[in-house]
Amino acid sequence: MAEAITRTGNLWSAHTADLASLGEKARLRSLAPRRGVDFASNDYLAMSSSPRLAAAVQDAIARGVPLGSGGSRLLRGNDPEHELLEDEAARFFGSESALFFSAGYAANVALLSTLPQRGDLIVYDELVHASMHEGLRLTRATAVSAAHNDAQSFDDAAREWRAKGNTGRVWLAFETLYSMDGDMAPVAEMARVAERHDAIMLIDEAHATGLFGPDGRGLAADLDGRPDTIVLRTCGKALGCEGALVLGPRVVRDFLVNRGRPFIFSTAPSPLVCAAVREALRILSDEPERREALRDLITHAERILAPHGAQATGSQILPLILHEDARTMAVAAALQGKGFDVRGIRPPTVPQGTSRLRISLTLNATQDDVDALGAALEHALQ
């Protein structure tokens, strides 16, 4: 037994040392169960517990819709529910086509590793999600970062690249609402940059879908249907389900089906989830009061929490930057001990020196809960 323990230690010594190093820096992660009032999730409209979604799944089961797809979409996994969802989503968002992925991470990896070609340029916002960075790691195109939410920086990068004689396609990759800062991109300005450079936009609407725009169609709703626009809209946040929809020209869908390895070689998402997402899209149209209630909660939270350092962003995400990793986690633990599920965020998820509490507002919390959080936060910060 002792020999086995020694051998295990030797086999995994580098990994053990790396974990120890993370612990010394107050950056060691661990899984924790959900408990306390929700100020951490992305279930912004509290739709994950909607009776309508539950009924939609029950109805699908009664119709004989299977839980598992049984294979990739290109084999036997292409259930009618997948195609129904994609048809309805394309109509809802005003796009020529839609393609459903199992997760937003896989969709972003597929988009950036598949669509831009060798000789192209990708200009990406410096704060884009890790899933975009993973796609950039796999791309054959040249990739350069632009200053956060700075359309001129994107424009300058494209101009400099063209000035060197490059003739490929320019791609602009950005999010419309950033999950760690809660701020919004200058979407209209970015569209003008795309027009000037005959560029294609890869837009991630993960944290805006369901909350902004007509019927919750997002901050980029006005761009849907344009030939230069591809939009990713996740279904596991405000829609309360899981998976992600890529919306854009039909040629994009066809190309991903033929060349997108994360799509081709993945088991298709559950057909039951497709039925739930279809109902979630209907709820966005039928129940605007959810968005109105969240807007009221945002206004209230900004008034209560801003005096304690939380940034008023106009969105459902209020970061409170505490800078130091250890202090961030200590304050988060104190709030959790008082019954509030607030999580600390540290590098590399956010830039060095910007560790923070990510206060996420959802309809799983009330204005009274926000008041109580404000009181607990005041005490914890002291």
Annotation says 108 is catalytic: no
Residue 175 a catalytic site member: yes
List the catalytic residue out of 50, 207, 315, 341: 207
Q: Please report how the helices 250-259 and 104-114 are oriented relative to each other, as an axis angle in degrees rounded to 10.
A: 90
Cα 322 from Cα 328, distance rounded (Å): 6
Could you confirm whether 3 is annotated as catalytic? no
What pairing do the DSSP bridges indicate for beta strands 142-146 and 121-125? parallel
Of residues 81, 86, 129, 155, which has the active-site annotation? Answer: 129
Q: Please give the backbone phi and psi of residue 2, each rounded to the nearest 5 degrees, phi first.
A: -60, -40
308 is catalytic: no
Q: Which of 38, 79, 86, 204 is catalytic?
A: 204
Hey, is 350 helix, strand or coil?
Answer: coil
Which of 179, 315, 360, 364 does the annotation list as catalytic? 179
Instruction: Give the separation between CA 122 and CA 138, rounded to whole angstroms.
Output: 12
> Measured at the alpha carbon of residue 14, what is the angle toward residues 11 and 16, in degrees to the nearest 5?
90
Chain centroid to CA 306: 25
Which position among 86, 237, 242, 355 bears the catalytic label? 237
Contact present, 269 and 101 (Cβ < 8 Å) = yes
Measured in degrees and rounded to the nearest 5, phi and psi for residue 237 equal -115, -105
Distance CA 138, CA 260 (A): 12
**Considering 43, 81, 175, 341, which one is annotated as catalytic?**
175
Q: Is 120 a catalytic residue?
A: no
DSSP type of residue 126: T
The Cβ-side half-sphere exposure at 4, using a 13 Å CA radius, reads 1
Strand partners, 356: 321, 345
Residue with tokens 């109805």: 59
- Which residue type does 237 have? K
Beta bridge partners of 320: 357
Residues in the chain: 382
DSSP code of residue 165: T
Q: What is the 3-state secondary structure (H, E, C) of 35-83?
A: CCEECCCCCCCCCCCCHHHHHHHHHHHHCCCCCCCCCECCCCCCCHHHH
Which of 42, 48, 266, 315 is an active site residue?
42
* 204 among known catalytic residues: yes
Query: Could you confirm whether 207 is annotated as catalytic?
Result: yes
Q: Annotated catalytic sites, by residue?
A: 42, 129, 175, 179, 204, 207, 237
